[in-house]
Amino acid sequence: MKHTLHAVAFHGDALRYVDIGEGDPIILVHGLLGSHASWGEQISWLAEDFRVIAVDLYGCGASDKNPGDYTLSAHAASIRDLMDHLGIDRAAVVGHSYGGGVCMQMLYLFPERVERLALVSSGGLGPEVSLLLRAASLPGSELVLPVLASPLLRGLAGTAARVAAMLGRPISASPSTLEIWRTFGTVADRDARRAFLRITRGVIGPLGQTICAVKHFPDYQHIPAMVIWGRHDNMIPILHAEQNREVMPHAEAVILEDAGHFPHLDEPVAFHAAIQPFLAAMAGASGARAQIAS
């Protein structure tokens, strides 16, 4: 389902986002090469109970891709600015993959703005990451990416899939795989490719992820937290979810057995059933704080 995109300019650059539903606010932050569309049906489903803000980070989706600061801190600040623009003091933040790193950076920089934290197959929890993403950090990848993402090669791959289907051997692909394939095509665009490389190289090197937030977790034991992972994640290993239990023992942990790197797409019903009660608990917490304040 397509959603209406709104736009606001910060420092001359347009940030685009979905704003739908009513109730306690939640902010959805996508991963590398993604956009608000990467959340699939979750936006509409969550909007039945909450006010959902699904942002296209700068350099991604429909937001501007001008040369600039694409660090985790810059992304976190742009979300803070968006909250100010929308009149939102505090919100639950839900981050997938790279977006999880952005949400953790937001908690670190602006803890007063974060009501609760949900990490979905999140980056920033350990060095291990797929070879594909490590390769993007290597010198010369900017020359290889446009070839791999060219319409010609993607068209040949599509033709091969159709031929296989005609021969009775259809190629089966999970929603995670299809989303990775869809978003990878965006790097054929020069500006999107430049932004992707800047974002990726800011957090990933040839040996893996270069930024880890785990050492900061003991400072935020009071923040309600949830971790959701797909058992078959080939981008960021489930090991990170297991390690997270040791440093954030109070966090709820949900493993979706038949999901890959996009558990909210591979098992959308199970994902929603897990995260909706966690987010719904905000209402009770907000009421308790209001009583204490009065």
Return the active site residues. Answer: 97, 233, 261
CB 78: neighbour CB atoms within 10 A?
22
In this structure, are residues 65 and 59 in contact, taking their beta carbons and an 8 Å threshold? Answer: yes
Task: Name 257's Cβ contacts closer than 8 Å, sequence gap at least 6.
Answer: 231
CA distance 32 to 44: 22
CB 258: neighbour CB atoms within 10 A?
12
Rg (CA), the chain: 19
Distances 218 to 249, 282, 283 between C-alpha atoms, Å = 10, 22, 25
CA-nearest of 193, 197, 185, 179 to 151 is: 185
